[in-house]
Structure 1
């Protein structure tokens, strides 16, 4: 039985997407794969099951043990019960590992409210005797800064000399020269990646359409009132256009996947969007702001566009606040968006070195029992 522990180098690296792809990649290699998210970290507004575990269940059919709540974990850490917490997690891990060749364990994401995440991840990886795979995403930084960030995180788990620290997967790579050239430049620059013991295990290009929420998700997150649902469960928002200009200057912006944001009294923009829809342009939708109700006579003229599936929604906020709220939308995959989750899983799996990882799973290794794991085994044998 082999364990891969995936640890983020920061916030917003797309850890759930990497989990989806890693499970898919190892399944392609013919391995029986398990998944385990030890500690839940719900986003604001999240309700119901933990997101990563639920998406893995819906896309790969893997049922994972229910993660521990953040409140429970923080109480135990606050009471100095780290070892007891680790034993509890090891017990859950054993359930995820039944009849599996390999288990993917998703670590904690460091946030303002969970600054202790890196310390917990270190103890989790050690307690589970896991191979560590770092997950990073290039931000507005130089290659040198990215290289330094990866090296610092590797050092937290013992550094490149520790055979348990396997390498890094880079996600959301945007490069005009392409991901292959980006990876080559990083490997030339990074002292860590020049060693034989630390590898670049995947380089995932940024794909706009894989990050596109459904119009329905946008409506729910904004608390918008639906005037015409149309195809709002199928259409996706690729781009936001705030229409404050004259119609002639806005026409070229009305493209497939565009969410048109305009005050409800801009009859000219509403009619333009309706004409585009009737001409076969599948807009993401029409979002009316500033709490102006559209003129019923105008909406009657738009009846053909509404019948074609154009979603129309309204919010009370003004243009500026609406645009700000749209840019702050949670980009995570909703648990019921199976189509997007499956596309992400396939795309990420196609860019991961799964052959090398599968080979690693078959490599004989010396098991190292941490004190919590040793105590857990003693208790099980005593039972």
Structure 2
């Protein structure tokens, strides 16, 4: 099977999630699968002090890949990189050589390599290293990930097809992500028809997953740049529902249910105590069960130490954010959720969903056609 380049039609389409399932599925079909992200933007510092794209760290750890970081993540675009490039403080040829070298290292011991791009095909154009250009550089076909709608996805695909054509990069196939179940048959039918005009196959349609879109308390730590006050044991807890508790405590008691994230002012001691009471009532009556709740406490004043201690005893994950409850909810609604390296439950779910909805036989045929 030939190696291939993955790009998306826009930001936050689910490219990394899709790559997780692709790599997992390919590992069941061939002995060695490589992974690389030639150009990265969001990076982390490893235990050895290397600056590496965060998705590369995720793939290396989860799939236990042996490739060196410098090969898997050869080029980074840190803050201020565009200015440095335009001021001629960055050598374009040096970046090209790093990408070539990294790909050669991984390809040398891999039967197939999945190369993840950054955003849509045009990202990186300012430094002459957009996704289409990098795919051309490496001589690879492109697979595009699009949102699971109809009209908007076709419009975005058309723009990205044009950019690939400009750089003479063949699009080997399309994968739709976050397809609503009730629209699945209709979407598959019409998107397949639309793609026929370009002679491009639909390789899969990944369903929308509520769970994959549930943030954890660790995500909220990242979003609000704070740390848990307590409940670190459940930092990766996910919630089915989020609610602002601003009503009377009587109303709150009647609507409090398991798997809820509660957003309430830190001064609402009645709400906090009602949550603790429900927690212990459940524990006493059903010791094996858990309320599976979490709290984001808001407002100008932090919670009292005595309340924090009670929540610590109950091991309820809690963070404090010095904003209004409505400002907090707005930030959550605008938050672009990313899969975290340590969130194994979510990674397993992503792999399972994607792997089960990709047609790997059609993928292999499409890649053979791209690389005669």
2:187 corresponds in structure 1 to 182
2:300 corresponds in structure 1 to 291
C-alpha RMSD over aligned residues: 3.2
Distance in 1 separating the partners of 2:358 and 2:91: 37
> Using a 3 Å threshold, how does the CA distance of structure 1 residues 290 and 365 change in structure 2: closer, same or farther?
closer
Deviates further, 112-121 or 267-276: 112-121
1:207-262 Cα distance to aligned partner (Å, 9 max, x none): 12123232233234323454332642342133321111123433454333321011
1:302-348 Cα distance to aligned partner (Å, 9 max, x none): x4x65443223322222222223333434111222233223212221
Contact 1:132 1:167 (C-alpha < 8 Å) held by counterparts:
yes
2:349 corresponds in structure 1 to 343
2:279 corresponds in structure 1 to 277
**Does 1:130 find its partner at 2:140?**
yes
Query: Which runs of structure 2 are paired with 1:302-381 in the superposition (5 Å)?
Result: 303=310, 306-360=312-366, 365-366=371-372
**Does 1:52 find its partner at 2:55?**
yes
Distance in 2 separating the partners of 1:55 and 1:78: 33
- Out of 203, 208, 211, the position equivalent to 1:209 is 211
Distance in 2 separating the partners of 1:117 and 1:253: 54
> What's the TM-score, normalizing by structure 1?
0.80
- In structure 2, the residue corresponding to 1:22 is in which secondary structure? helix
1:8-53 Cα distance to aligned partner (Å, 9 max, x none): 111111111111111112112235211110011117xx55432211
Shift of 1:195: 4.5
Contact 1:32 1:101 (C-alpha < 8 Å) held by counterparts:
yes
Shift of 1:170: 1.1
Contact 1:110 1:117 (C-alpha < 8 Å) held by counterparts:
no
Contact 1:8 1:15 (C-alpha < 8 Å) held by counterparts:
yes
> Using a 3 Å threshold, how does the CA distance of structure 1 residues 197 and 62 change in structure 2: closer, same or farther?
farther
Contact 2:192 2:201 (C-alpha < 8 Å) held by counterparts:
no
2:286 corresponds in structure 1 to none
- In structure 1, the residue corresponding to 2:316 is in which secondary structure? coil
- Out of 168, 175, 179, the position equivalent to 1:169 is 175
- In structure 2, the residue corresponding to 1:2 is in which secondary structure? coil
> What's the TM-score, normalizing by structure 2?
0.82
Task: Structure 1 unaligned segments of length 5 or more: list them.
Answer: 367-383
Contact 2:10 2:120 (C-alpha < 8 Å) held by counterparts:
yes
Q: How many residues align?
A: 352
Contact 2:172 2:370 (C-alpha < 8 Å) held by counterparts:
no
Task: Structure 2 unaligned segments of length 5 or more: list them.
Answer: 47-51, 283-288
> Using a 3 Å threshold, how does the CA distance of structure 1 residues 157 and 223 change in structure 2: closer, same or farther?
closer
